[in-house]
């Protein structure tokens, strides 16, 4: 009888350990889904980082350098690269990329407006058009347009979209399998014991252990601020990464807290079932 109990406890402990690992995997996949690969959060963090404003200012400076190099007045940039165009173009680019679509950066209005401004300037100044002048103007417009496209292009979003596509395939397969495994082990733990509360107690242990792993790991990252070591240039890019990663880690903290709450409910259930047995 004693050997049977020892074997029962040993098997239950192994099942509880496996269940702990399964719960950790479930927390991890759920945390990545609602944190790292959450489109709404990504767009929110881009806005918070002042991304569009600083991209606009940077594009203005680069476009001015191009005009100065060509000996053209900076006033020609009027209504060309505007904050509204940068914001709309950048927002659509990010949304399309995250949705798995091929992003198209619309630069026609920028090109048309600059060309119109230059033509009006030449007419006002009475400057005659020549092949060399037209070639030079085209080169200036091409450079400004390329700078605009480069500013709208957000490479890190492309990386997220690539990883998200792979992750979603794993998520759709992994979650059902993990839930099925957790359910199977949970049923086996309950069946393994004479009283249901004894098996549920091991499930509670597994939930507590997995929640502690998630909470402690997340707290360590938040306290040490190791995510801030991923320094990127320019500054707005770095601000986005820092805010984005901090939120992602906090999502895991919240999930760990939910796990602890579920564990508490399981412990209450264990106490309830145990009291029902003793009161008979």
CB of 58 within 8 A of CB of 248?
no
In the predicted model, what is the mean pLDDT of the chain? 88
- CA-closest candidate to residue 96, choices 58, 134, 152: 152
Q: Is the pLDDT of residue 193 over 70?
A: yes
Q: Are 129 and 68 in contact (CB under 8 A)?
A: no
Q: Are 151 and 55 in contact (CB under 8 A)?
A: yes
CA distance 275 to 44: 49
Q: Which pLDDT band holds residue 219 (cuts at 50, 70, 90)? A: very high
Predicted pLDDT at 31: 94
Q: How far is CA 107 from the centre of its chain?
A: 27
Mean pLDDT of 201-223: 94
Of 191, 226, 230, 215, the C-alpha closest to 263 is 215
* pLDDT per residue as tens digits for the range 132-188: 888 888 998 999 999 999 989 888 888 888 899 899 999 999 999 999 999 999 999
Provide the percentage of residues in the chain whose pLDDT is more than 70: 95
Q: What is the pLDDT of residue 232?
A: 62
| Cα–Cα distance measured from residue 95 to residue 103, given in angstroms and rounded to the nearest whole number | 8
């Amino acid at each position: 009888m004693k050997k049977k109990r020892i074997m029962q406890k040993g098997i239950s402990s192994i099942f509880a350990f496996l269940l702990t690992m399964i719960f950790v995997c479930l927390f991890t996949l759920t945390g990545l889904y609602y944190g790292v690969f959450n489109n709404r959060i990504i767009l929110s963090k881009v806005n918070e980082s002042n991304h569009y404003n600083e991209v606009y200012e940077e594009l203005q400076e680069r476009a001015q350098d191009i005009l100065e190099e060509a000996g053209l007045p900076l006033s020609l940039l009027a209504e060309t690269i505007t904050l509204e165009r940068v914001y709309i173009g950048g927002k659509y680019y990010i949304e399309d990329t995250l949705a798995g679509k091929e992003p198209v950066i619309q630069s026609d209005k920028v090109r048309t407006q600059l060309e119109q401004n230059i033509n009006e300037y030449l007419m006002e100044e009475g400057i005659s058009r020549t092949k060399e002048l037209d070639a030079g103007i085209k080169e200036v417009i091409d450079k400004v347009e390329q700078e605009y496209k480069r500013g709208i292009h957000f490479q890190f979003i492309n990386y997220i979209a690539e990883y998200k596509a792979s992750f979603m395939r794993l998520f759709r397969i992994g979650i059902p399998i993990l839930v099925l495994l957790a359910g199977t082990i949970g049923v086996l733990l309950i069946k393994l014991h004479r009283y249901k509360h004894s098996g549920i107690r091991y499930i509670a242990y597994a939930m507590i252990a997995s929640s502690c792993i998630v909470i402690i790991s997340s707290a360590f990252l938040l306290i040490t601020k190791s995510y801030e070591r991923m320094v990127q240039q320019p500054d707005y890019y770095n601000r986005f990464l820092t805010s984005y990663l901090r939120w992602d880690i906090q999502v895991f903290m919240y999930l760990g807290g939910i796990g602890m709450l579920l564990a508490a409910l399981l412990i209450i259930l264990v106490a309830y079932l145990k009291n029902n047995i003793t009161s008979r």
